[in-house]
Structure 1
Amino acid sequence: MSSMFQEIVAFILCTSGWVLVSSTLPTDYWKVSSNDGTVITTATYWSNLWKTCVTDSTGVSDCKDFPSMLALDGYIQVCRGLMISAVCLGFFGSIFALVGMKCTKIGGSDKNKARIACFAGVNFILSGLCSLTAYSLYAHRITSEFFDPFFVEQKYELGAALFIGWAGSVLCILGGTMLCFSIAGSFTNSAVSHSHISSYPKGQAKPVNPRPTPAHSSSSRMQHFDKNVYV
């Protein structure tokens, strides 16, 4: 029951992290910057993996999609690939986790279900690592440009999508690790129980509290027999 509860908690963590990571892919505020006037903010500049926009004080946004994928900066292309890989890995991990969990009725034998659930945990871990790498790479580019005194273009700060994505990535990694450890525990318990049962031949009962035979009993009998053998 404890391993089943651990699997359920791990599945909740993994799916929650995957949903958070997936939600940041179309989110607007990956990086944000604002120009402040004397009283109110006059304009807010923000950008993500797909477009760059500006929003004025009235709330009207003017966006411009990136014109060509081949003309993009290298870090944006890498982040796109990592994020798409993270979403796909998390999707297949969710399906495999549903099939391999003990509380479901599909997946075959317990051994096959354990293997499928372990594969799902590895998928979630890889998904979390891919998304974590993408967010960290994007944030590194923002901070390096912000603190560069020779960078004269518009400087941005970290957006809300990065913090949400970091939290989702950590949840995916923790949930996948917990799922793998729960399966490893079930493998260990099954191996121990199998070896304990197979140590006794079929049809032979396990002795209950066997009484030890004294080591000197046979020798005392032989000595008694030697004394009376010629009488």
Structure 2
Amino acid sequence: MKKRLIQVFGFLISTLGWTFVLCTMAMDYWRITQLGGQGGSFIIKVAWYWSNLWKDCFTDSTAVTNCRDFPVLWSVTYVQGVRGLLMCGLTLGFFAAVLCFLGMECTYIGGADKTKDKMLLSGAAFHFAGGEYRTQSTFVSV
């Protein structure tokens, strides 16, 4: 009973963490910069530059927003590297969640106990590797 509880709790925490990282892929405003409106200027003109993993945007003081989408993944900028690392980490995390679900003791899918233990171990290794990719993407974006 204790082993099952630990497996279910570990599965929920790791899958919840994977879901939170998945939600960050769609978030805007990863980087925000205010331009202008400083230093005693007679003309008050303020603009905001913001970007995420998918596009760069520029909003001026008249509330007009111009965005430029990133066309390809293999572009040179570091934002593309972050996007690639996050996508690799999320893919590994997805396979890890499936393997861990099949390998848990409380599920009836997956075969014998030795097979389930191997699935659980490989799922844990995939979670670890996916977490490393996601951590590397954090260091690249800083």
Change (3 A) 1:4 1:29: same
Going by fraction, where is helix more abundant, 1 or 2? 1
Q: Which residue of 1 aligns with 2:41?
A: none
Could you tell me which amino acid in structure 1 is paired with residue 93 of structure 2?
G
Q: Which residue of 1 aligns with 2:53?
A: 49
Using the alignment, how far apart are the partners of 2:136 and 2:111 within structure 1?
A: 36
Gaps (5+ residues) in structure 2? Answer: 39-43
Q: How many residues align structurally?
A: 137
Which runs of at least 4 in structure 1 moved beyond 6 Å after TM superposition?
none
Gaps (5+ residues) in structure 1? Answer: 140-231
Using the alignment, how far apart are the partners of 1:41 and 1:8 within structure 2?
A: 55
- For normalisation by structure 1, the TM-score amounts to 0.53
The answer to whether the 8 Å contact 1:100/1:113 transfers is: yes
Q: Tell which structure's C-alpha radius of gyration is larger.
A: 1
- For normalisation by structure 2, the TM-score amounts to 0.83
The answer to whether the 8 Å contact 1:34/1:41 transfers is: no
Change (3 A) 1:121 1:58: farther
Alpha-carbon deviations, 1:179-225, whole Å to 9, x = none?
Answer: xxxxxxxxxxxxxxxxxxxxxxxxxxxxxxxxxxxxxxxxxxxxxxx
Using the alignment, how far apart are the partners of 1:37 and 1:62 within structure 2?
A: 19
SS of residue paired to 2:109:
coil
Change (3 A) 1:129 1:41: farther
Match of 1:93 among 84, 96, 107: 96
Q: Which residue of 1 aligns with 2:128?
A: 125
Taking CA–CA contacts closer than 8 Å with sequence separation of 6 or more, which of the two structures ends up with the larger relative contact order? 1
Change (3 A) 1:123 1:68: closer
The answer to whether the 8 Å contact 2:97/2:123 transfers is: yes
